[in-house]
Amino acid sequence: MKSFLTSVKSFISNHFLRFTQRDTLLILDRFHWKDKICGHHLFLLDVKRKKLKQLHVPKVTDSDMGFKMVCSCNGLLCVIHYSLDQNSTIFLWNPTTTQTMRIMEPENALLPYKVPPHCLLGFYLNTSDSDYQVVRLHSFRDTNNACFGDYFTKICAVRVEKYSLRRGSWREIKYSNNQCVTVNGCLFWTENSVTLEETLFWVAMEVNDKFSNEMIISFNTHNNVISKIELPPLVKDCNEVHKKLAVYKDSVAVIICSETETMAQCLDLWVFYDKYEGVECWCKLHTIGMFSRLERPVGVLKNEILISTDRVIHSVGGTIALLPEDDLGAEFSYNVFNYVENFRTSYGGNLDVEEADPLERKGVSLHDLFFSSVNI
């Protein structure tokens, strides 16, 4: 046990301290589909050179049912590896060194559903303890007897578990009755998430047998407070097509793509303010469009809205990257993550290491793949 804690402490301290800021690069999480065929890929985007390099997500279970990117923090990616059986797992991955660390579930697991979309998952650095932590929120009616039928139709409490990388264990956050946040039925993770000043935000939906309601769920990692935030109002005479959470000028924002009856599309940037006299409100700062072609919101880079078509990712300032030609014509969705490159390579026996970096095998120099923090 002492050896394990020593190794984890070394793992955390080295990831916290060893990073180099260089040119702006992003990690793009792309899901695309056409007819019944779908694909899911991660890319490294060199913004300056406008180039994409594919990243190969390692397999950490015997089953290969796909993956979900959760978050990026100081050179570590938090990823879900899905499986048809009970082996779906959360793991941490350093793409630069190809090392992985699997987050083990407790034997007396609280959750009926351990992975998204049936729960909300986040990953962050607790700076006060220099400890990386995974946080998991879910709706749960009865801790001793959780049945899906009851869970889906009745009012449920949102409950929280935290995993400490330093301690190597999960713990539940206890709330009193007046602190408890409830949802109507089952809580699903429907879109991306962002982190702002160690507060995590997700787009989520409460679903029961009569209605569904999409909202933003936030979790303050300092005081463990959970909050529900209503989304901005819909644009009159328009249908909402897509949305993305983002951070814009140190505030939480959402980019909403709306479509008119004539199929023209526009993007609205809404910013959430909650720091003035205790008043919470959404303010629409920008509208881009109307577009006659298909556009998708991606995120915010250096306070500019990123948009993607089926051929290119761009901002108002110009092209950011050209997309792979073999996927032209497919429906698509992007998530974008900031990244801080880390070359730490030795973590004792708690990490599995692949034989070689896939990027190196393709002749790409790691010197050209330095990562830096960016505002997303």
Indicate the pTM of the whole model: 0.81
Q: Does the residue 54 lie in any domain?
A: yes
Which of 207, 230, 253 is a domain's end point? 230
Q: Does the residue 338 lie in any domain?
A: no
Q: What is the pLDDT of residue 85?
A: 63
pLDDT band of residue 211 (cuts 50, 70, 90) is confident
Question: Are both 81 and 138 inside the same structural domain?
Answer: no
Mean of the per-residue pLDDT values for the chain?
78
For residues 341 and 372, the answer to whether their CB atoms sit within 8 Å is yes
Range of the domain at 120: 112-230
pLDDT tens readout for residues 334-352: 888 988 777 765 333 344 4
Question: Are both 192 and 286 inside the same structural domain?
Answer: no
pLDDT tens readout for residues 222-237: 999 999 999 998 777 6
Sequence-distant (6+) residues with CB within 8 A of 204 are: 120, 187, 188, 189, 190, 214, 215, 216, 217
With tokens 């980019």, the residue in question is 255
When divided into structural domains, the chain yields a total of 3
CA distance 177 to 282: 29
Name residue 202's beta-bridge partners.
193, 217
Question: Are both 90 and 116 inside the same structural domain?
Answer: no
Which of 173, 202, 230 is a domain's end point? 230
Query: 59-63, 312-316, 342-346, 359-363 — which is least confidently predicted?
Result: 359-363
Q: Does the residue 7 lie in any domain?
A: yes
pLDDT tens readout for residues 100-159: 999 988 766 656 557 788 889 999 999 888 899 999 998 877 443 344 445 455 788 898
The letter for the amino acid at 140 is F
Cα-trace Rg, the chain: 21
For residues 27 and 41, the answer to whether their CB atoms sit within 8 Å is no
